[in-house]
Structure 1
Amino acid sequence: MNLLYLLGNLLLLGGLVFVLWRSAKPNFLKIFFWPAIILKVGAGLLVGWLYQHYLSGGDTFVYQQQAEILNAYALQEPKNYLHFIFTGEYPSEYLYNAMRFRGYSNSFFIVLLLHFFNFITHNSYYLNSLYFSLFSFWGCWQLTKALTQLFPDTKVAAAFAFLFFPTVVFWTSGVLKESILVGSCALLLAATLRLLYQVNTTFASLLMLVVGAYFCFKIRFYFAVAYFPLLASFALLQHFGRKMHFSESKKLVFYGVALLVLGIMASFLHEAVTPEYFFKEMIKSYEMTRAMTTREAYIHLPDLQPTYQSLIYYAPKAISSVLFRPFIGEINTPAYFLAGLENLLVLIITLSALFTFRRSLPTLPSTLVLSLLIYSLVVAALIGYSTANLGSVSRYKVAFMPFLLYVLLQTGLNQKIMNWLGKRFIHCFISDSV
C-alpha cells in the first residue's frame, strides 16, 4: 500500500476521533471514550484477521473484492461507470456478470460503500475496516451521549450496552453489515431524542436522523419496517403528550393506535414486505441454514410454515433460542463456550429485570421502553425464524441486543447494581459531579 495513502488516512481518522473526543460531555463519558474506541478499532481489525486466516475470507472479503472490481471499472470506463452509479443500469455485460450481489440489495449496498472508500484508501481492506468501525462507534457514541445527558440515571447501563458488551463490540466492527446497521439504528434513536428534547433543532441532529434512517433501511429494510413505526410512535406521543398533558394511560392508548397506523404505512416501504412473500422467503432462509448446519446445536422449529398460526406457535422458542443460546457446553468449542458465558449473563440480567422490576421501574418514558422491547422481540423472532445456525445467530442478534440490554439494565435490581457501580467506580476517576 502506498505510504502516502496510509499516512493520509491515519491523519483523517485521527482527526475524526479527535472531534468525537472533544464532544465527550459530560465528564462521565471521558472515562470511557478511549477504552471504547480502542476496543472498537481493535475488534474491527481482529474481525478481518480472523476471516482472512481462519474463516476462508467470508463475505467481508468478497465485498472487498467486488468493490475493487467496481473501482477498476471506474478507471477504465469512467463514462459508463458514472451512468451506472446515477441510474443503476448496467452499461455492459462484463459489469453485470462481475457484480455477484446485484440481486441482493443490502450486500450490494455494502459493495457500493466499500468502493467509495477504496478511492480514499487505495483498496486497503483494513483501512476500510477502520472507517466502518468508526461509523459504528459514532452512532453508539452519539446515542450513549444523548442517553447520558437526557436520562443520567441510566448512563452506566447505556455505556455498558452500547460501548462495552463483548458480542456487540465485536460483531459491529469491521467490514460487516452489522457495523452499519447498529451504528445507523443508534444514530437514528440519538437524533430522535435530541430533536424531541432539545429546544433548538440543529442541522447536525437532522443530518444524523437522515443518515441513520437511510442506512438502516438500506442494510436491513425488514428490521427498519419494525423500527421506524415504533420510533415514530414514541416520538409523536412524547411530542403531543407534553403539549396536551396526556395521562400515562392515554399515552399508551394513543401509542397503540399510532403504532398500528404507522405499521400499516411502513408495510408499503418495500415490495418484499407483503406477508405472503416475506413469510415464504423467511422459511426458505431457515431451511437453507438448517441444511448447512452440521453441528448438533441449532434452532429446531419442525414443520415451520409460512402462516400466522405457525409463526405465533413457534415465537417463544425462536425468541428464547436467539436470546439465550448456545448454552454453556452445548457445543464444545472455545468460541461457543465464550458465547455461552455471555448468554448466561444475558439470562441472569433478564430474569433479574423480570422478577424485580417493581422495586425500581425504568426512568425512561414508558413508550420508549415499549418501543425498544417490541423492536427487540420482533427482530429476535425474525432471526429465529430465518436462521437455524447458532453461530450466525450470535452475530445477527447484535441488531437488537444493545437496545434490549439497555432497557433491562435500568430496571429493578439491575438498576440498583448499575447505580452502585456508578457511585463506587466513576467517582474514582473524576472529581467533579457527573
Structure 2
Amino acid sequence: MELKDLLLTPIYLLLFYMIAYQVRPKATNKLTRKYFIPALTLKLGGAIALGLIYQFYYGGGDTFNYYFHSKLVTQAFYDDPTVGLQLFLSNGEFNPATIKYTSPMYWYHSPTEFIIVKIGALFGVIGFNSYTIIAIFFALVSFTGMWAMYLTFNKLYPHLHKHFAIACFFMPSVFFWGSGFMKDSITMGALGWLFYGFYAAFIEKKSFIKSLIITLLAAWLVYNVKVYVLLSFLPPALFWIFSENNKRIKNAAVRNLLKPVFIGLGLVFAYFGATKLTEGDDKYDVDKIGERTKINSEYLTSSMVATGSAYNIGTFDGSIGSMLAVAPQAVVVSLFRPFLWEVRNPIMLLSAVEAMIFIYLTVFLFYKTGFGKSFKLISTTPILTFSFIFSLVLAFAVGTNSGNFGTLVRYKIPLMPFYLSALYIMRYYFVTKKQNIKPKTSLPGTRRPATV
C-alpha cells in the first residue's frame, strides 16, 4: 500500500456510502433495512483488512500478485487506450502490440487468474491504480451478490431475517476472505446473483427474461473464475426445478409415479452439464479431475506441513472410486474443521470457532429432531434439499483439493452461507413444531415455498 491509498481511500469510501444511502430504500424493506449499512461496512473493512494482513503478516501473496498484473493492464490503458483495450480483450494469445506488458505476466496464460486481473484493471482505471480502491470495488461486487442472496432467502423465510444476515454477512471467514482483491470476492458476488436469478426465473417465475439474463451472466462469471462452484450448484438447482414442477401435479398417484422420473432427469442433466462444461479442460475435465485433485492436494499438503496447517483425509490415487472413498473425511474437514486444538494462528482460530458452531447446530438439530425426521424434512423442503446438496458437493470438492487449512478456509466460503442458512431453517421448523406453531414461510402477498 502506498501514500495514494491513504489519500484516496477516505474519498472513495465517502462516495460509496453516499451512494449506499441513496440505494438503501430501494434495496431493503422494514425487516432488512437495518442490516444494509453494517453489512456493507464489514465488506469494505474486510477488503482493507485483507490487504493489510497480506502486507504486514504474510509479507505478500495472491492479492498483491493480482495487483501487480492489473497495474500492467491499467498502465497499458494510460499509455495507449487502444493497446489497453487489446490487452483487456486478449485471451493469452501473442500480440506484438501488447508484448511489452504481457512479458512480465506469469498469469497471462492462466484464464481463471487473468479474468481477475482484467476486473482489477477495470477498477484500477477509475481508481487511479490504487490497491485499496480496487479492493473496495471488489468488496462492492461481492456485497451486491451477497445482498441478492440474502434477499432470496428472505423471500422464503422473512421471519429469519436476522439469522440469514448472520449467515450471509457476519461470519468472519465470509466477510474477510470474500471481500478483498481475490478470486473469492468475485465468486461470492457472482454466486449470490446466480442464486437470486435462478430462484426468480425458475422457481418464482417472475420477470423471467431479466432473471434469466442475471442467471446466465452470473453463471458465466462463476464458470470463468471457479468452475467447480458452478458444477456444485448445477445438480441441486436442476433437482429443485424438477421438484417444484413435480409438486404442481395435483394427482398424488401421478405425482409419486413421476417423482423418480424427475429425479432421474435432474441427475442426467446435472451429469451432462458437468461433463460438457469442462470437456477438454486439462484442469477440470471430469475424466481428469481425480488425477488433478490428487496432484493439487499433495502439493498443497507438502507445502504446508512445516506450518502445521496441513491435514490428511486418507490416501487416494486420483481415481473416482478412491475419491468417493475419502468423501466422508473430505466433507467433515470442510464443514467441521479445524478443531480448536488444531489452531496454529489467529486466522485459523476464527475458522475453528465457525466450525464449532457448525458442529453444535448440526448435532443439536439432528439429535433433537431425530435423524429420520431430519432427513424427511430436508427431502421434502426444496430450499433445504438444494442448500445441503450444494454444501456437501462443494465440501467434498474443496476438502479433497486443498490439503491444508490455509487454503481450505478460502475455498469453502461459498458453501458457508447456504449450510448455515439451512441449519437455521431446520431450527425454525424444530422450534415451531415444539411450540405447536404453524411455520411462517412468507410475508403476506409473497409466494409460499413448495414442499415435495
Aligned counterpart in structure 2 of residue 75 of structure 1, from 74, 78, 81: 78
Match of 1:406 in 2: 421
Which range moves more in the overlay, 332-341 or 373-382? 332-341
Q: Which runs of 5+ in 2 are unaligned?
A: 436-452
Number of aligned residue pairs: 420
Match of 1:374 in 2: 389
- Partner of 1:399, secondary structure, is coil
Asked if structure 2 preserves the Cα contact closer than 8 Å seen for 1:356 and 1:412, the reply is no
Which range moves more in the overlay, 353-362 or 299-308? 353-362
- Partner of 2:277, secondary structure, is coil
Asked if structure 2 preserves the Cα contact closer than 8 Å seen for 1:233 and 1:258, the reply is yes
- Partner of 1:54, secondary structure, is helix
Match of 1:312 in 2: 324
**Correspondences of 1:116-127 after superposition (within 5 Å):** 116-127=122-133
Cα pair distance change 1:414/1:234, threshold 3 Å: closer
Aligned counterpart in structure 1 of residue 269 of structure 2, from 244, 261, 284: 261
TM superposition shift of 1:408: 1.4
Q: Distance in 2 between matches of 1:343 and 1:211?
A: 32
Q: Distance in 2 between matches of 1:384 and 1:295?
A: 19
Q: Which runs of 5+ in 1 are unaligned?
A: 421-434
Q: Does 1:219 align with 2:230?
A: no
Deviations 1:167-190 (A, max 9, x none): 212111111211111121111111
Q: Does 1:17 align with 2:20?
A: yes
Which range moves more in the overlay, 82-91 or 114-123? 82-91
Cα pair distance change 1:252/1:356, threshold 3 Å: farther
**Correspondences of 1:75-154 after superposition (within 5 Å):** 75-88=78-91, 89-92=93-96, 93-154=99-160
Q: Percent identity?
A: 24
Q: Does 1:384 align with 2:399?
A: yes
- Partner of 1:46, secondary structure, is helix
Asked if structure 2 preserves the Cα contact closer than 8 Å seen for 1:110 and 1:177, the reply is yes
Asked if structure 2 preserves the Cα contact closer than 8 Å seen for 1:101 and 1:107, the reply is yes
1:381 alignment partner AA: F
Q: Does 1:275 align with 2:281?
A: no
Q: Distance in 2 between matches of 1:238 and 1:414?
A: 20
**Correspondences of 1:27-42 after superposition (within 5 Å):** 27-42=30-45
TM superposition shift of 1:44: 1.3
TM superposition shift of 1:253: 4.7
2:231 alignment partner AA: V
Cα pair distance change 1:3/1:351, threshold 3 Å: closer
Q: Normalising by structure 2, report the TM-score.
A: 0.83
**Correspondences of 1:293-372 after superposition (within 5 Å):** 293=304, 294-357=306-369, 366-372=381-387
Cα pair distance change 1:275/1:58, threshold 3 Å: same
Cα pair distance change 1:78/1:32, threshold 3 Å: closer
Q: Distance in 2 between matches of 1:303 and 1:91?
A: 45
Deviations 1:27-73 (A, max 9, x none): 11012222222122111111111111111121101101110011112
Cα pair distance change 1:107/1:19, threshold 3 Å: farther
Q: Distance in 2 between matches of 1:55 and 1:4?
A: 24
Which range moves more in the overlay, 11-20 or 122-131? 11-20
TM superposition shift of 1:19: 4.6
2:94 alignment partner AA: Y
1:90 alignment partner AA: F
1:333 alignment partner AA: N
Aligned counterpart in structure 2 of residue 287 of structure 1, from 273, 289, 298: 298
Cα pair distance change 1:256/1:10, threshold 3 Å: same
Cα pair distance change 1:352/1:19, threshold 3 Å: farther
Deviations 1:288-311 (A, max 9, x none): 111101134522144321112211
- Partner of 1:23, secondary structure, is helix
Which range moves more in the overlay, 107-116 or 20-29? 20-29
TM superposition shift of 1:415: 5.5
Cα pair distance change 1:147/1:336, threshold 3 Å: closer
CA RMSD, Structure 1 to Structure 2 (Å): 3.0
Asked if structure 1 preserves the Cα contact closer than 8 Å seen for 2:163 and 2:424, the reply is yes
Cα pair distance change 1:22/1:197, threshold 3 Å: farther
Match of 1:427 in 2: none
Q: Does 1:49 align with 2:52?
A: yes
- Partner of 1:155, secondary structure, is helix
Asked if structure 2 preserves the Cα contact closer than 8 Å seen for 1:71 and 1:118, the reply is yes
TM superposition shift of 1:149: 2.6
Q: Distance in 1 between matches of 2:90 and 2:250?
A: 47
Cα pair distance change 1:248/1:35, threshold 3 Å: farther
1:262 alignment partner AA: A
1:180 alignment partner AA: I
